[in-house]
Amino acid sequence: MVRFVLAVKRRFFDISQPEKYRQLLYHLVEYRNGRISMDGVLDGIKAVLHGHPDLVGHFNSLMPSALHITD
């Protein structure tokens, strides 16, 4: 998961969209703290990664198939 988060950080800082990286962290932390559901975190991550199929693929490689997202 750490490599995935770092890949997202690099991508969005490289294209001058650091707020997307912060959104990803927000969703992960909110889920960890029990403030949003699994569906909520998946919807948030899907929105952040929209248009970046390689990052979607990286995320999906870390998750069971029932939790895969699509771009």
For residue 37, the number of C-alpha atoms closer than 13 Å in the C-beta half-sphere is 3
DSSP 37: -
* Cα end-to-end span (Å), the chain: 19
Structural domain boundaries enclosing 9? 2-67
pLDDT of residue 71: 78
Number of separate domains in the chain: 1
Handedness of CA 2, 9, 60, 57 (dihedral sign): negative
List pLDDT tens digits, range 39-65.
Answer: 999 999 999 999 999 999 999 999 999
Nearest Cα residue to 27 out of 60, 53, 7, 49: 49
CATH of the domain at 25: 1.20.1160.11
Contact 60, 68 (CB under 8 A): yes
List pLDDT tens digits, range 6-35.
Answer: 999 999 999 999 999 999 999 999 999 999
pTM, rounded to two decimals: 0.88
pLDDT of residue 38: 94
